[in-house]
């Protein structure tokens, strides 16, 4: 019984090491069929901001405003819809701009659940922008789940700031 349990733990550990070691490189992660590469993104987005130590700092927002979600929800509230309408106006006045919508979550829930929730949040924002007339070819999405928080306190206010859709703008 103990040998079977130890053997199972070793197998699970080995599988985790293999998955981490064989993960996609940053360049592979950007090759999503949109034609984006690292040069075009120019080190923008939450991952680049975290690596630079500027994630969540004033001035790192960019021209499009973030939207925020309720706990365990991808539903767009009235404030989020108003923000998306303003974001659409900016995109309309900048026809060469493309946007990647990042879905983010707070620290509650499993990694897998939060990645899926982040994907649904980004998709909800994308779908709303498309319904407002933005071309689908100008919008990509990615989910970071809970992995790139802008705030690390365990307070309701901090968690609310982490439940967001973040917009990264780049030119064609």
Give the tens place of pLDDT for each residue, 115-158: 999 999 999 999 999 999 999 999 999 999 999 999 999 999 99
pLDDT score at 142: 96
pLDDT score at 130: 98
Q: What are the residue boundaries of the structural domains of the chain, listed by start?
A: 25-171
In the predicted structure, residue 105 carries a pLDDT above the cut 60: yes
In the predicted structure, residue 6 carries a pLDDT above the cut 50: no
Among 6-15, 51-60, 71-80, name the one with the lowest average pLDDT.
6-15
Q: How far apart, in whole angstroms, are the C-alpha atoms of residue 19 and residue 76?
A: 34
Helical segments of 55-162, H only:
78-93, 111-131, 156-162
- Residues with Cβ within 8 Å of residue 41, at least 6 apart in sequence: 30, 48, 168, 170
pLDDT (tens digit, 9 = 90+) per residue, 30-44?
A: 333 333 343 444 456
Beta-bridge mates of residue 167? 101
Q: Which CATH code, of 3.90.1300.10, 3.40.50.2300, 3.30.1330.60, 3.40.50.261, is assigned to 25-171?
A: 3.30.1330.60
Q: How far apart, in whole angstroms, are the C-alpha atoms of residue 106 and residue 147?
A: 9
Indicate whether this model's pTM tops 0.75: no
Mean of per-residue pLDDT scores for the chain: 77
Largest pairwise CA distance in the chain: 67
């Amino acid at each position: 019984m103990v040998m079977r349990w130890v053997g199972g733990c070793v197998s699970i550990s080995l599988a985790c090491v293999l998955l981490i070691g064989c993960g996609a490189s940053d360049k592979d992660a950007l090759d999503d069929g949109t034609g984006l590469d690292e040069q075009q993104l120019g080190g923008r987005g939450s991952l680049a901001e975290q690596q630079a130590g500027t994630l969540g700092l004033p001035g790192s927002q960019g021209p499009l405003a973030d939207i925020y979600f309720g706990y365990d929800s991808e539903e767009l509230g009235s404030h989020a819809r108003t923000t998306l309408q303003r974001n659409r106006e900016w995109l309309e006045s900048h026809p060469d701009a493309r946007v990647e919508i990042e879905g983010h979550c707070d620290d509650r829930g499993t990694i897998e659940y939060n990645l899926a929730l982040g994907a649904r949040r980004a998709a909800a924002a994308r779908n709303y922008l498309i319904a407002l007339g933005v071309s689908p070819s100008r919008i990509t999405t990615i989910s970071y789940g809970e992995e790139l928080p802008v705030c690390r306190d365990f307070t309701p206010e901090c968690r609310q700031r982490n439940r967001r859709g973040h917009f990264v703008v780049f030119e064609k």
